[in-house]
Amino acid sequence: MLTEQEIINNGLKEMLYLEELAAHKYADSAQQITKPELQSLLKGMEMLARNNYKSLMQKINENQKG
């Protein structure tokens, strides 16, 4: 049986994967679209996903230390 901490870490790792996947999808979509307004929007969403990824990494590192 998993401990509460292991369950939390597994959830954080799953979220990390999903944020990385989203960032890649936004980046790929931005490259395929020719309308500048939509490209800008998708690049902003990519940046948000990457920031979320960084925040999750920090949280995972904090959980591993303490």
pLDDT tens-digit readout, 20-58: 999 999 999 999 999 999 999 999 999 999 999 999 999
| Structure tokens belonging to residue 27 | 């980046």
Do the beta carbons of residue 64 and residue 13 sit within 8 Å? no
Burial-class residue 50 by CB neighbours within 10 Å (0-12, 13-18, 19+): middle
> What one-character DSSP code corresponds to residue 41?
H
Residue 66 vs residue 55, higher pLDDT = 55
Cα separation, 54 vs 62, whole angstroms: 12
Supply the pLDDT for residue 64: 80
Q: What is the pTM of this model?
A: 0.86
Cα separation, 60 vs 44, whole angstroms: 24
